[in-house]
Amino acid sequence: MPKISVHRKPFIVGVMGSHKDEETFIKQAQLIGEAVAKRGYVLLTGGGPGLMRAASEGAHRAGGLVIGILPNERERPLPGFPNEFVDIPIYTGMSDARNVINAKTPHVLIALNGSVGTLSEIALALRAGTPVIGLGCPEFAIAKDYDFIQVTSVEEAISAMETVLDQYNGETTIRGTEEPIL
């Protein structure tokens, strides 16, 4: 297995999606996780099963670092949390309230097909100024007022991720803006 190599202050890319094993989206999540790792970025997921696990697996197999923001406490195990590909499990004990961490921590969030948890992460991220790339997500009329990028393929999602991250100037701002992103 390749050795993990992380930049001193790497970009963090959040990949959010369903906790269910949805065959159509599993391969997409794996490819996105792999792309994140191959670029030296850190992957952040909800740390559980389904698309979270698939993205984590892709990053892990490519030698990347995976952070899982978990809903449970260490002393109260939850089946599938953390999945076996999470390198750094963050036990929050916050249930769905952890979505705030998932939404505000990454420099960019890639949202795959999901349910209300993913929807809340999208809304929280947009509200916080975190750019969101939607793949397999419905279009939201309100999203036009925010930094929501709708894509239709893994290749487009990766290209959009690179474009967003290329705009960062330092840790917390995007070039051309004066207001902090985080």
Angle at 79 between CA 53 and CA 126, to 5 degrees: 50
Q: Which helix H or strand E contains 56, and what residues bound it?
A: helix 51-61
Would residue 176 count as lying in a domain?
A: no
Res 140 pLDDT > 70: yes
How large is the average pLDDT for residues 124-148? 88
| pLDDT of 4 higher than 80 | no
Q: What is the mean pLDDT of residues 101-114?
A: 96
Residue 107 in any domain: the answer is yes
Would you say residue 161 lies in a domain? no
Calculate mean pLDDT across residues 99-127. 95
Write down the pLDDT at residue 9.
82
What whole-number distance in Å separates Cα of residue 145 and Cα of residue 182? 18
CATH code (residue 115): 3.40.50.450
Which H or E run includes 120? helix 116-128
Query: Does 102 reside within a domain?
Result: yes
pLDDT at 1: 56
Within-domain flag for 179: no
- pLDDT for residue 164 is more than 90: yes
Q: Flag whether 175 is in a domain.
A: no
Contact 59, 86 (CB under 8 A): no
**In the prediction, which pLDDT does 144 show?**
79
- Look at the chain and report how many structural domains it folds into: 1
Contact 18, 50 (CB under 8 A): yes
Kindly report the pTM of this predicted structure. 0.89
Q: Which domain holds residue 80?
A: 12-143
Nearest-5° Cα angle at 97, 133 to 47: 60
pLDDT tier at 181, thresholds 50, 70, 90: very low
